Amino acid sequence: MTVRRDFEEPARCRPDLVIGREELLAGAREQLAGGGSVLLHGPAGIGKSTVLRALAADNAGATRTVLRCSATESESHLPFLALADLLGLVVDEVADRLPGAQRTALESALTGRGESTLQRDGLALRLAVLSVLRALATEGPVLVVADDLQWLDPASAELLGFAARRLGDTPVQLLCAVRTEGQEYDRHLRALPPDSLAVRLNPLSRTQVSALLDHRGYTGLPRSTVRDIHRTSAGNPLFALELGRALAEDPTPPRPGEPLHVPTSLRALVLNRLGMLSDEARRTLLVASAGARPTLALLHAAGRENAEAETAQAAALGLLATEPEGPAVRFAHPLISAALYAEAPAQERRAAHAALSTAASDPIERARHLALASSGTDPEVAARLAEAAAQARDRGAPSVAASMGLLAARHTPADSVPGADERRLQAATDAITAGEMDLARDIAHEVLTRATVPAERVRAWIVVIESAGHTLGDVDSVFPQALADAGEDPGLLALVHYQLAWRGLIVEGDFAEGREKAAHSAELAARAGDRRTELLALAFQAQTETLMGHPNAPATIKQALKEPQDPQVACHHNGPGLARFRWLQMSDQLAEARTTVTALLREVRRRGMVESEVHFLRLLAETELRSGHCGRALDLARESLRLARDSGIGEVASALLTSFAEAAGGDVDRALALAREAEEHAEGIGDQMYVSRALAALGHAQLVAGDTQGTVRSLRRVRELEHGLGITDPARGRWHGDLAEALVRIGELAEAQDVIDVTREQALRLGRESVLAVVDRAEALVRARRGEHEAALGQLTSVQDRLGKLGYGLEEARAAFALASLRTRRPGPTSYDEAARLFRRCRALPWLRQVEAAAVTPPPEPVAAPAPTLDALDGLASMERQVAALVMEGATNREIAARLFISVKTVEATLTRVYRKLGIRSRVDIVRLAAGRRTK
């Protein structure tokens, strides 16, 4: 392979460093693998060169000769320069195979020693380039890599295009990139072979921009800042990185409401045409850049009398793109607006804001401009900004409310009531509602550095706790400080105890403790007259009681739903509405549950409650999944996961639900990856509840993937964890049927029956009809393995009918599949048509593939799992042997903890290690080992 030394790929250009282009790369790789050529196109800075290098590196192993050129604008007038870059180092290898006239013309063009021109030696040169490529291809495949085609000198572009159109089946491929602003790439395709693939690089999403910034080391930027970077850069990677670098290096971040600071490098790039504007036109554009939604009417109201002519002048220079059918004035790129604003002197910026503070029609916008036009504290300005924040909150724009609240705090005098810190804490609450947890946390820490009033300090501690999300273990030290600041005040103590309830559930993994703390919080809040906290605490108590199977759950839900209600709490993802939804869903009232969660989702979207939106999207997806609407569930789950990752909220929970949805109606490998990712994250933060849920998702995906042993391993651990957590309602995780079915497949019939019996007892006590039907389906499989075929067939027929009436479409289809599978073991015709029809109706594609495979080849008989090894007991550590010995005696985990003076959690962790070392999966296997020893 011939590679020009100055174009060898550095390690930093490995394709694994390309962010946000996975689908694009896959299509281009497929085209290149099939022998085709590729043209990458898009605007400046969009990442064409990065993708070009990645694709070239990927294809290098399959190519003998790589020819490269990278043109520049300053050299585009030099004829044959790109041709010299491409062929200069390889022409000697094949020169003796060229006809004399072609060789002479080519050498003259490449060396510049002759007077070769396209006009005089056109045919000879064209044929020479074609002959060189063909000659190189006789030794092996050739890849031509050309970046910035728009700067290719015209002579080289013509020669390359002539050869490309005539290569035919010759193994020569072109991989090129060209800068385009629209779709004008067609003329560049003439320089490539016919049927080349044109790939447009589109802007990156906010999540992708965030990943790019993180990869380049700009990890300390708040999410709100990343959002501003994405908006200002319009998803352009080059612009985003330059903005990120400037912000990371700038010790003074922009004030709330101001555009981002734009580095000099980008100002020069986008403002090189400003010098051609008149001073008045430039001032008009500054007013437009300061406005949120500039129009000609707004510019006139702000005193720009010649706005039409001045914006037309700017549009002619490419700075503005005035809407042809509307009054809006739109900058050609958001970065132009930000750079123009950053370039203007502070006095001119304040003058623009002052003009807009009276010209803007929206009261929130007027208040923002008033603040940015003012300096120092001013009680009147602060009051107007606080009022604007309240209006934004009512409109469902909590992010705007947070920005207005911070501006209000900045302009609040020291002796005002309410004070600056009180307004900052309200802004922090708005930031949490908007999903901007890092901004909320920064505000709270700023307040804590100076606040002495207990109420303000406790509220600030609560913001720190709430912004931690599910990583409450990271803020453990906050709780004693918050309790100390709360003193004996019942209202403040209620706030802290509500957060302690969450800590008990998430950090300690103890539902009983969480319920107790929530009930105490509700009592304290009622004494203090804090209805909002009382409702949240009652809703939390109701949810824990529901999951625990506690008999008080219905009464607590009823109490949480009593009037008066707080409108914000009523639709909150931890409010009474969610408690009612969860009860409906677990009680098999799917239609009413769907109606409830849909209404909640609609309301939180109206209010701009991002965190609640993530949760309700996921819960609606879960409801659709249980109803057997797998396609709809998958779409909703993916939307929830995208929003969760974009906002940094609820990522684990959304990943888990998406895993279930992918296993039901999408990609099983994706389901496995998501579940494992969630398990690793939950293990890392010590959240046992989410470890349990992650393992349930993993076990289900493993069952769909055909990994029966993996299913049993995962779900046995779920069973142990939920026992330790105190969860007794099988409708919470619904993993029990999967575990029993997998146990049947490996021949562990006794354990499968034990799972069925225990689950049935719990489901009967709580009236969980769908759970009863699912465990009956598993029991039918047990009966079939024991030879009770007729009883099994009858039971499955009943189960399918019951699940259909309850509205559990996917579970109904699984029952039909099990029924068809059992019939294959009896003489006579067998049909999977009914199962296929039901899975197709659900759009359960992974299950449908299993049906199609079984229709061709009946499933093999299950193989019993190997017995655990007795000798392995000698390899246990001292504590592990003691715990195992007590299990053999029949002691419970709590009894073992008491006898060995250790915690229950230590017992559970030790048992997990014992299972792994012995190659077993449950306490039942340890008891069997004991029985084996006694018979020796």
Residue 213 near residue 223 (C-beta atoms within 8 A): no
CB 512 within 8 A of CB 477: no
Cα–Cα distance for residue pair 270/317, rounded to 1 Å: 11
pLDDT at 4: 30
CA 310 to chain centre: 43
Identify the pLDDT of residue 828.
Answer: 42
Amino acid present at 22: E
How far is Cα 461 from Cα 574, in angstroms, rounded to an integer? Answer: 19
Q: Tell how many helices (H) and how many strands (E) occur in the chain.
A: 48, 5
pTM greater than 0.75: no
| Tokens found for residue 139 | 């030794």
What pLDDT score does 161 carry?
85
Tell me the C-alpha distance between 768 and 772, whole Å: 6
* Predicted local confidence at residue 12, as pLDDT: 35
Query: Amino acid identity, residue 688?
Result: Q
Instruction: Determine the pLDDT at residue 745.
Output: 93
Count of other CB atoms within 10 angstroms of residue 115: 9
Residues 6 or more apart in contact with residue 501 via CB below 8 angstroms: 513, 514, 515, 516, 517, 518, 521, 537, 540, 541
Predicted local distance difference test score (pLDDT) of residue 78: 79
β-partners of residue 42 are 179
DSSP 47: S
* Mean pLDDT per 10-residue segment, the chain (936 residues): 31 50 84 89 86 87 86 78 84 84 81 58 82 89 89 85 86 90 67 84 85 81 80 85 81 68 74 78 92 88 91 86 66 83 89 93 91 91 94 87 93 92 94 87 93 94 88 86 95 95 82 91 96 95 86 91 90 91 91 95 89 92 95 94 81 92 94 92 79 94 94 93 84 93 92 92 91 95 91 93 95 94 62 90 93 73 48 66 78 75 70 72 68 49
Predicted pLDDT at 275: 74
Q: Which two tokens stand for residue 748?
A: 């562990």
Please state, in angstroms and rounded to a whole number, the distance separating the CA atoms of residues 407 and 824: 73
pLDDT of residue 910: 77
Closest-CA residue to 917 (of 886, 865, 864, 873): 873
The string of DSSP letters for 659-683 reads HHHHHHHS-HHHHHHHHHHHHHHHH
* DSSP state string for 466-530: HHTTT-GGGGTTHHHHHHHHHTT-HHHHHHHHHHHHHHHHHTS--HHHHHHHHHHHHHHHHHHT-
H or E element that contains 144: strand 142-147
Amino acid at position 909, single letter: A
Task: Pull the structure tokens for residue 412.
Answer: 């609040």
